[in-house]
Structure 1
Amino acid sequence: MTQTAPLTPAAGFSREQRRALTVIVVSQTLGGAGMAAGITVGALLAQDLLGSTSLAGLPAALYTIGAALGAAVLGRVCQRFGRGPGLALGNGIAALGSAGVVAGAAARWPALLLAALFVYGAGTVTGLLARYAGADLAPPERSGRAAGTVLFAMTLGAVAGPNLIGPTGSLAHAWGIPRLAGPFLLAAAAYTAATLVLLVWLRPDPLLLAQPQKARDAVAEPGTEVHRPVRDTPGVITGAAVMITAQLVMIAVMTMTPVHMTGHGHATQAVGLVIALHVGAMFLPSPLSGLLADRIGGRRVAAAAGAVLLGAGLFAGLVPPTSATLLACALVLLGVGWNLALLGGTALITDAAPAENRAAVQGLADVGMSVAGATGGMVSGLVVGSSGYPALATAAGALALAVIPTVALSGTRRRP
């Protein structure tokens, strides 16, 4: 008997479905490189232009606020027109925002830089929304692995991006642009390529394939929308709560780690490596996390995420700031915990939301994630400025522990 590998959930699907998943994977690989730019140098770029450590969390706050708006809008676009147009629009917005960041840095105009980061964030949420497109194609017992495969596809680009700080910085410097803006040059090119891939090759649309014929016809008809109460409201609420908490914790710690490291004498390349390892841990375990969600249920996976995030926060707060190796270990643990929370929460929401308005419900759940990320990004700089990085990391880990009682009290069950 032939076994199916976790990284190929399209096996056994129709030719159209396999083709759609392949296109999404390619676009995710490109988008991952673009997403890593803001994670790696956004805080450092703002610190350079604004001259304040307390405001270094502002970029993360802005692009996560932008992501909140983007998740709401793109979820509606996907519901109305399909995944292809929605995801392509999101990548195009991210490319525009990346170009704006480069322009703002070159002109040393903080207002333009911050506005562009907002636009950039509205597009970067596309990479996370794409996981739902993977689940569109899968039977219920394989939806976790399908979503995990799409997230895994971001790993190559997301890990490569931070390690290209040096080359892209040199290119930017040669063009008379600040070195820290170099990764956003890469982001603009990567997101543009992802947009073209989706527009040209994502046919037929995975969401429209997954919808019941009646709902598909209603969505395709201009001016008509399908609305039905969510089948399992506790499942949606629990899944969203898990992802929101994990996002707040992860963004808060991750955003200030580069500032913490550079403040203790670490080189920019060392910072880039630590963030690359963290981003890899955010996405590399996705097939395994998805498999666990399919096998043992999203609730158990989400509960495990709370424990892992607690450990990551305590570890980051206690390790010596001069040890890049130990900080990297803490950030890897942080990424793994976030991944478990994301796939566990995604499984709960996908199971609970009906197909005919699933994309809109999923988009609203990701709005909550983005708002939490914005809160974490803004508060992180203030906490570090007043109490230090160890206090921030420890408090974030303690907050993550709230995931466990939330899941335990929900009483939600995965559908057969």
Structure 2
Amino acid sequence: AISLILIGSIGGAFLGPELIAQGERFSDSAFLGALRAAAGLFCIAAILLACLSLPKMIDDTDEHPDQAARGLREIAQNPYFLLAVLSGTVGYGVMTYIMTATPVSMHVHDGHSLTDTAEVIRAHVLAMYVPSLFSGLLITRFGEKPIITLGLIAYVITLGAALAGQQVMHYAISMILLGVGWNFMFVGGTTLLVSTYRASERFRVQGINDAAVFGTSALGSLLAGTLLSSFGWTTVVISTVPALVAVSGMLIWLKGRPAAKI
């Protein structure tokens, strides 16, 4: 279900660049027109959400009185909880960080055309969401840890391609692999997280996870431009290594270790 939900975002890979291309239809400035069109889409989404009727969720804590909510410290003692949060946080944070720096590095620093830059970003967004067609099935077949590991491997190859050169080909390869790696790490981590908490804990744990994931993503967006302008593309790429090493260490530590009962 987590994987299938992300499939809807495939449309963004086509619609986003098209808003910029058709921006002058909505304003004299293509950029301003794209923002107005995006605002219109957000209004449509808000109306759809306001009209959405969801069935009431069943709280199974009444059926399982012994499954009372635990404190956060006890939940965090489960190493698989830590792996789930770390996978989602690093996966999303590194992706946002490098993705934000890419168009600036390509177009402003390296002088590649806006068309080439847009196509690279389009390929990246497609690579983020197209794997959702099968990543959920892979998790069902092989489990979360192997898929997170594949995502981590994709990130390592991403860094290699990004450091190999700064031609359009290098950016394209690195962005495609970055998208695939994000999908595997984020979907794998999110799926794993669900198995680490009780029903009575779901809102608190998901809130903490989302704060970590999207807070890190926001921080990555803020830092990307600053580090890129101050130190360059190579420093931006290399600076992600410690985060990937942390996930690698956690996976190695949990190798062969059974999940804790909740």
Same fold, TM-score > 0.5, yes or no: yes
Gaps of 5+ in 2: none
SS in 2 for 1:204: coil
1:147-226 correspondence to structure 2 within 5 Å? 147-168=2-23, 170-174=24-28, 178-205=29-56, 208-209=57-58, 211-212=59-60, 214=62
Which residue in the other structure is 2:97 paired with?
A: 252
Which residue in the other structure is 1:237 paired with?
A: 82
Which residue in the other structure is 1:228 paired with?
A: 69
Residue pair 2:22, 2:30 contacting (<8 A) in 1 also = no
SS in 2 for 1:203: coil
Name the count of aligned residue pairs.
Answer: 251
| CA displacement 1:175-196 (0-9 Å, x = unmatched) | xxx4323332232222222222
The alpha-carbon deviation at position 398 of structure 1 amounts to: 5.9
Which residue in the other structure is 2:221 paired with?
A: 377
Could you say what the CA RMSD is over the residues aligned between the two structures, in angstroms? 2.5
The alpha-carbon deviation at position 258 of structure 1 amounts to: 0.8
Q: Which amino acid aligns with 1:341?
A: M
Check if 1:307 corresponds to 2:153: yes
SS in 1 for 2:259: coil
d(CA) in 1 for partners of 2:112, 2:142:
41
d(CA) in 1 for partners of 2:168, 2:241:
20
Residue pair 1:282, 1:336 contacting (<8 A) in 2 also = yes
Residues 262 and 199 (structure 1 numbering): CA distance in 2 closer, same or farther, change over 3 Å?
Answer: same
Q: Which moved more, 1:351-360 or 1:300-309?
A: 351-360
Residues 196 and 256 (structure 1 numbering): CA distance in 2 closer, same or farther, change over 3 Å?
Answer: same
d(CA) in 2 for partners of 1:365, 1:409:
21
Check if 1:408 corresponds to 2:260: no
| CA displacement 1:5-64 (0-9 Å, x = unmatched) | xxxxxxxxxxxxxxxxxxxxxxxxxxxxxxxxxxxxxxxxxxxxxxxxxxxxxxxxxxxx
Greater RCO structure (CA 8 Å; 6+ sep): 2
The alpha-carbon deviation at position 342 of structure 1 amounts to: 0.4
d(CA) in 1 for partners of 2:154, 2:37:
32
Residue pair 1:306, 1:402 contacting (<8 A) in 2 also = no
Q: Which amino acid aligns with 2:15?
A: A
| CA displacement 1:114-159 (0-9 Å, x = unmatched) | xxxxxxxxxxxxxxxxxxxxxxxxxxxxxxxx11000111111343
d(CA) in 2 for partners of 1:387, 1:331:
20
| CA displacement 1:318-345 (0-9 Å, x = unmatched) | 22x3x32331221010010011100110
Provide runs of 4+ in structure 1 moved above 4 Å.
none
Check if 1:265 corresponds to 2:115: no
Q: Which amino acid aligns with 1:276?
A: R
Residue pair 1:306, 1:401 contacting (<8 A) in 2 also = no
d(CA) in 1 for partners of 2:77, 2:5:
25
1:15-414 correspondence to structure 2 within 5 Å? 146-168=1-23, 170-174=24-28, 178-205=29-56, 208-209=57-58, 211-212=59-60, 214=62, 228-229=69-70, 230=75, 233-263=78-108, 264-319=110-165, 321=166, 323-397=167-241, 399-410=243-254, 411=257, 413=259
| CA displacement 1:235-268 (0-9 Å, x = unmatched) | 2221001111122211111001111111222232
Residue pair 1:160, 1:276 contacting (<8 A) in 2 also = no
Q: Which amino acid aligns with 1:184?
A: L
Residue pair 1:173, 1:179 contacting (<8 A) in 2 also = yes
Residue pair 2:76, 2:82 contacting (<8 A) in 1 also = no
TM-score norm. by structure 2 comes to 0.85
Residue pair 1:316, 1:393 contacting (<8 A) in 2 also = yes
d(CA) in 2 for partners of 1:181, 1:235:
45
d(CA) in 2 for partners of 1:293, 1:172:
43
Residue pair 1:262, 1:268 contacting (<8 A) in 2 also = yes
TM-score norm. by structure 1 comes to 0.55
Residues 201 and 292 (structure 1 numbering): CA distance in 2 closer, same or farther, change over 3 Å?
Answer: same
Gaps of 5+ in 1: 1-145, 216-225
